[in-house]
Amino acid sequence: MKKGFIFDLDGVITDTAKFHYIAWKDLAQSLGITIDEAFNETLKGISRMDSLDKILAYGQRENDFTLAEKEALAQKKNDEYVKLLADLSETDLLPGVHDFLAQAKEHNIPCSIASASKNAPMILEKLGVLDFFGHIVDPETLKKGKPDPEIFIKAAECIGVVPNDAIGFEDAQAGIEGIKAAGMYAVGISATETLAGADLQVTSMTELDIEQLLTI
């Protein structure tokens, strides 16, 4: 029996990738770098600073900024991103998410969030689902980002579940790799990408049968 669920946030609970994309695209543009949606795909699951580093490397500007300047650029991107999230509400939950979380609660299955986003608590609050989660891993406490398993191991530990008894839900390749490296069952959620290594892939949470998952 599985005893705990660990969720990524962006692309699993809500679709914030489009807002990250707008904010990164604008910032990159201001530096003379053009990114497209295919490049944005490679930023999914990657921390704010690592995303900035990837963009600068892509535009061959990786040696042009001091750490303080890069921090200011990351802050500028986040300011725009947070503005774009102003109207986020329960209607922005991805299909099947609310139902699935409610069912997990009925089954007394603890849930936690393993997201690289420092905006996770604010986003979950706006979506009206904060109370479903027993813990949100603070990405500031991590030594390594996804695909390292650290965030998933912490997310399981914090809800008192051993990795082998946990199921991780992810929309990004780096996340699936992290879940598998943590020794958990990986559910990939994506309608557009094939997530290599996922134990099960669905296009949305509406396809998931909680009773069946728990007995895996």
Backbone angles phi, psi at 187, to 5 degrees: -105, 120
d(CA 133, CA 150) in angstroms, rounded, equals 19
Residue whose structure tokens are 């669920």? 5
Compute CA distances 56 → 16, 68, 103, 177, whole Å.
Answer: 22, 15, 43, 25
SS3 61: coil
CB burial of residue 37 (10 Å; 0-12, 13-18, 19+)? exposed
Name residues contacting ligand G6P, limited to 8-27 (CB under 6 A): 10, 20
Residue 172, interface with Mg ion (CB under 5 A)? Answer: yes
Q: Which residue in the list 10, 92, 165, 209 is annotated as catalytic?
A: 10
Residues 6+ apart with CB under 8 A from 157: none
- How many residues in the shown chain lie near ligand G6P by CB under 6 A? 15
Residue whose structure tokens are 């979950």? 124
Report the residue from 4, 11, 149, 188 that binds Mg ion according to the rule CB under 5 A. Answer: 11
Residue 201, interface with ligand G6P (CB under 6 A)? Answer: no
Supply the minimum distance, in Å, between the C-beta of residue 161 and ligand G6P: 22
Supply the minimum distance, in Å, between the C-beta of residue 48 and ligand G6P: 4
To the query of whether residue 36 is one of the catalytic residues in this protein, the response is: no
Residue 145, interface with Mg ion (CB under 5 A)? Answer: no
Supply the minimum distance, in Å, between the C-beta of residue 138 and ligand G6P: 11
174 among the known binding-site residues?
Answer: no
Vertex 47: Cα angle to 6 and 95 (nearest 5): 45
To the query of whether residue 10 is one of the catalytic residues in this protein, the response is: yes
The residue ranges that bind Mg ion (CB under 5 A) are: 8, 10-11, 171-172
Give the catalytic positions in this structure: 8, 10
The residue ranges that bind ligand G6P (CB under 6 A) are: 10, 20, 43-48, 51, 78, 115-119
